[in-house]
Amino acid sequence: MTRYETLASTMAAEIRSGSIAVGSRMPSLRQVIAQHGVSQSTASRAYYLLEEWGLVRAQERSGYYVAPGAGISGKSARRPSAPAESSKVDISDLVFSVLDAAKHPGIVPLGSAFPSPLLFPLPRLAKSLAQATRFISPWSTVADLPPGNEHLRRQIALRYVGIGISQPMEEIVVTNGALEALNLCLMAVTRPGDVVAVESPGFYAALQAIERLDLRAVEIPVDPVTGLDLDALSEALDKHPIRACWFMTNFQNPTGVTLSLEKKKALVELLARHDVPLIEDDVYGDLHFQADYPLPALAFDRKGLVMHCGSFSKTLAPGYRIGWASAGRFTDRVQRLKLMTTLSASIPVQAGIADYLQHGGYDRHLRKLRSAFRTQLQEMDASIRRWLPNGVRRIHPIGGYFIWLEFPEAIDAMEFHRLAIERGISLAPGPIFSASHAFQNCIRLNYGHPWSARIDDAICTLGKLLVHPSVRVKP
Ligand SMILES: Cc1ncc(COP(=O)(O)O)c(C=O)c1O
C-alpha cells in the first residue's frame, strides 16, 4: 500500500466505526498533515480516495464531510413496518455517491441501471434519424411542440392498441425520457408538503423527485414475490392525506416483481375509491419473457386517474431521451408543465424514433432483445448458484434485466458495495432503494449485458467478498 492509501484506510476505519459521525466535518488538510506527519499531496490524495469510496464529499471552500450512508455499517437490515409514517426524504447524496462510484468505464456494470448499448440497433436507428431529418418540415419546430410530434404519438398510440388498450393519442405527451414524464406527472398532482405513496424498495428517482419537490413519502412495502402490499396501501390511504401514488406494476425496479392482473385491477379500484391518481412507471413492460406484454394498471382505469409513463430508453435508445406520459384527465396540466420546464423534447429525435417505429422493425428487435435478456438471466443465475453461498435468496423476474438478491441479515450491502467497487465491480446496494435506507442486506444486479467470463469472474469475486469480515455486521 502507498502512504496515501494507508492514510485513507485509517480514516475510512474511523468513519465506519462511527467515531466521525455522518454529516460532520472531517479534519482539515492542515490538521491531517500535522497529526499524521504526511505531506500535503499525501493528505489530498487520501481525501480523493475517500471521496472515490463514497465515504466523504467535498464542499467548496469548506472542506470534506462524512457522506450520508458512509457510517451505516451497523444499521438494521429490516424492512420498514407497514404502513409507515410519512417522512421527508434525504436520499440524493447516498444515490449520487453510489452512482458516481459505478460510472468508471472500466468497471463491471452489475450495478448499472442500463442494459448494454451493444444490444440496441443503433445503425438502423441512425438511418431513421437521417431519413426523418432530411424531410423534416421547417415548421416542425412549432408543430411538434408539446404534446409532441404527431407521427410519434400515433405510433405510441398504436403500440397501446397492440397490447389491447385503446389510448387516444391526444392524451400522450412526449417527454425527455420517462424520468421527465414521471416528474411532470408528480408535479401535476401535488404541491409542496403533500404526501405521496411510493414503493419500498422502490426506484430511487421517485424518492429524489419527492425530495426535490419538498413532498413527503409514505413507503408501501413491496414483497419481491407478490409485489405491492395492497392492505398496507389501503391502511395508508385511510391514515394519510395521500395525494398521489408512484408505483411500478411490471418488472419493478429493483425487485423485478410483476403484479398479477387481479392485483392491478384491485389497485386501480382502491385508488378510484379514494380518488387518488396513480403515476404508473412502466419502462420495462416491453421486456417480458412470457408471450404477451403484461397489461399495466392503466388497462383497468375508468376514471382517467392513471398516468402511464413509458420510454424507449430501456429498449431502443437511452441516449435519445424520448419517453412519454399518457396522462388521462391530467393531460393538459402535464402538457403545460412540459412547456414551462423544458419546452419540448428534441424535434429531430422525435421524428427519427417515429420513423424507426414505423419502418425499422421494432418488434423484431424487441424479440431479439428479450431473448438475449432471458439467456443472460440463465447465465447469471447459474453463476450465482456456482459462486455465491447457499443462504442467498434469488428473486426470479419474468422480464426486465434486474435480479434482486437477499442475503442473511448480517450482510452489510453498503460495505459490500464499497469493497466491490475497489475491485472494479459495481452493484446496486439495497439502501439506495428506500427513504429509510433499509434493505441493508439486499442488492440488485444487472444482467442486461452480454454474458462473458469477466462477468462470471466478477460474481466469483462477489462470492469471496461475502465472507470478508467487514461485510458482516457485528451483532
Ligand atoms: C424504473 C425506472 N423508471 C424510469 C427510468 C427513467 O427512464 P428514462 O431513461 O426513459 O428517463 C428508469 C431508468 O433507470 C428506471 O429504472
Ligand 1 contact, 350 CB (< 6 A): no
User: Shortest CA distance to 218 belongs to which of 238, 240, 191?
Assistant: 240
Q: Among 249, 314, 433, which is best to mutate for testing ligand 1, by the most ligand atoms less than 8 A from CB? A: 314
Task: Provide CB contacts within 8 A for 174, sequence distance 6+.
Answer: 146, 147, 148, 149, 152, 153, 322, 323, 324, 345, 350
Query: What pLDDT is attached to residue 55?
Result: 78
Task: Provide CB contacts within 8 A for 38, sequence distance 6+.
Answer: 3, 4, 7, 32, 46
Q: Is residue 25's pLDDT more than 90?
A: no
Ligand 1 contact, 281 CB (< 6 A): yes
Compute the average pLDDT of residues 3-19. 76
Ligand 1 contact, 177 CB (< 6 A): yes
| 48-86 pLDDT tens trace | 888 877 778 887 778 888 876 665 333 333 454 445 577
Cα 181 to middle of ligand 1, angstroms: 10
Query: What pLDDT is attached to residue 91?
Result: 65
> To the nearest whole number, what is the mean pLDDT of the chain?
90
User: Shortest CA distance to 371 belongs to which of 456, 451, 463?
Assistant: 451
Following DSSP, what letter does each residue of 41-87 receive, concatenated? Answer: HHHHHHHHHHHHTTSEEEETTTEEEEPTTTT-TTS--PPPPSSPPPB
Tell which atom from ligand 1 comes closest to the C-alpha of 113.
14
| 189-230 pLDDT tens trace | 999 999 999 999 999 999 999 999 999 999 999 999 999 999
**CATH 3.30.830.10 fits domain 3-66:** no
Ligand 1 contact, 249 CB (< 6 A): no
Q: Is residue 183's pLDDT more than 90?
A: yes
| 321-361 pLDDT tens trace | 999 999 999 999 999 999 999 999 999 999 999 999 999 99
Note whether 136 and 348 are within 8 A (CB).
yes
- Overall fold of domain 120-362: Aspartate Aminotransferase; domain 2 (3.40.640)
Note whether 217 and 196 are within 8 A (CB).
yes
**CATH 3.90.1150.10 fits domain 92-118+364-471:** yes
Cα 220 to middle of ligand 1, angstroms: 20
Query: What pLDDT is attached to residue 14?
Result: 74
| 244-287 pLDDT tens trace | 999 999 999 999 999 999 999 999 999 999 999 999 999 999 99
Residue nearest to atom 5 of ligand 1 (CA): 179
Query: What pLDDT is attached to residue 207?
Result: 92
The structure's pTM equals: 0.82
Adjacent-strand bridge partners of 58: 64
| 451-465 pLDDT tens trace | 999 999 999 999 999
- Of 474 and 373, the one with more pLDDT: 373
Cα 172 to middle of ligand 1, angstroms: 18
Ligand 1 contact, 253 CB (< 6 A): yes
Where do the domains of the chain lie?
Answer: 3-66, 92-118+364-471, 120-362
Cα 421 to middle of ligand 1, angstroms: 23
List Cα–Cα distances, 207 to 73, 124, 247, in angstroms: 22, 36, 12
CA–CA dist 436, 90 (Å, integer): 9
Termini Cα distance of the chain: 30
> What H or E segment, with its residue span, contains residue 349?
helix 347-359
Q: Among 176, 283, 307, 308, which is best to mutate for testing ligand 1, by the most ligand atoms less than 8 A from CB? A: 283
All cell numbers assigned to 451: 454474458
